[in-house]
Amino acid sequence: MENLLKVALAQIAPVWLNKQGTLQKIKEQITEAARENVELIVFGEALLPGYPFWLALTGGAEWDKKVNKEIHAHYVRNAIQIEAGELDEVCALAKEHKMAIYLGMMERAKDRGGHSIYCSLVYINPEGSIESVHRKLQPTYDERLTWAPGDGNGLKVHPLKQFTVGGLNCWENWMPLPRAALYGMGENLHIAVWPGSEHNTKDITRFIARESRSYVLSVSSLMTKDDFPKDTPHLSAILEKAPDILGNGGSCISGPDGEWIIEPVLNKEGLIVQTLDFNRVYEERQNFDPVGHYSRPDVTQLMVNTERQSTIKFK
């Protein structure tokens, strides 16, 4: 039925800073989701190949510190360059299983020189085509020491059966104007990806759902001390101050009324599967629609620059 959509939240730990190992886990999750006839699968922020936890543990803001430079170089080397075909196998699985995918990853963007990395949220449609790459607009706090700021090119929504789906990375979900941009494009299924932990998801998930009268999927990763590979550069320096649990998950789903469909799931790895009914969106828009009958564009409007930013322009 076109009004029903089966979704999966892939709450997994990466093979930290190992893109090939993490890609293998991602492909396994897609294959498992296909066995349950899932139509949309979502992975957490920066899952591929992992969140930069070392910054808060090794004095990440110290100038010219060799440990941070060497881990950063390792991170960049394990980031994904889409233009080089490094997501081709994931796209092929999407096409094979007719499954849409939202994937949080570190992008080593060729159109920005290929040396800086962006926290990107990639949408792959059920035909296996990459339809948008949203680079996080504003990295948060210590993330700015390793991630570059993105642009508005990836602020896009996509048709998926009767739904219109869009997404944001982590604390972007607290930014009112990017949210409003997606609402204005017709979003009614909002994807919020996080590095992990329910303190991020327990409030904002329901708030966005109630504000937008949309479904909201919050998808987080997991990370414990035991998840750091033994060959990680400067592992002893990272583990010295690392807590036992760095990301406990907290993936969850809220309905268009702002109430829980699935409350935050903690410390459990695997797929969280749920079927969504689009008709609930129409029901909740009856009394409030933030960009429709309950908006005043004659008083307030939003301008969105969707140009992909680059250092050079060719004439």
CB atoms within 10 A of CB 266: 17
Q: Which pTM was predicted?
A: 0.96
136 is catalytic: yes
pLDDT digits (tens, 9 = 90+) for 88-131: 999 999 999 999 999 999 999 999 999 999 999 999 999 999 99
Output the average pLDDT for the chain. Answer: 97
Q: Is 85 exposed, middle or buried (0-12, 13-18, 19+ CB in 10 A)?
A: exposed
Q: Rounded distance, CA 214 to CA 289, Å?
A: 10
Q: Rounded distance, CA 156 to CA 45, Å?
A: 17
Looking at 91, 119, 170, 252, which residue is catalytic? Answer: 170
Contact 89, 34 (CB under 8 A): no
Per-residue pLDDT at 75 exceeds 90: yes
Which amino acid is present at 61? A
Q: Name 17's Cβ contacts closer than 8 Å, sequence gap at least 6.
A: 49, 50, 71, 74, 75, 78, 229, 232
131 is catalytic: no
161 is catalytic: no
Could you give all domains of the chain from N- to C-terminal order, each with its CATH number? Answer: 4-285 (3.60.110.10)
Count of alpha carbons within 13 angstroms of residue 142, beta-carbon side: 14
Does the bond joining 264 to the residue before it have cis omega, within 30 degrees of 0? no
Structure-token pair, residue 78: 């394990």
pLDDT digits (tens, 9 = 90+) for 215-268: 999 999 999 999 999 999 999 999 999 999 999 999 999 999 999 999 999 999
Q: Rounded distance, CA 216 to CA 219, Å?
A: 10
Q: Is 100 helix (H, G, I), strand (E, B) or coil?
A: strand
Structure-token pair, residue 149: 């700021």
Least confident span in 57-71, 87-101, 288-302: 57-71
| Residue 166: closest CA among 134, 209, 207, 206 | 134
Contact 192, 41 (CB under 8 A): no
Looking at 136, 143, 187, 252, which residue is catalytic? Answer: 136
Q: Is 116 exposed, middle or buried (0-12, 13-18, 19+ CB in 10 A)?
A: middle
Looking at 39, 45, 86, 198, which residue is catalytic? Answer: 45
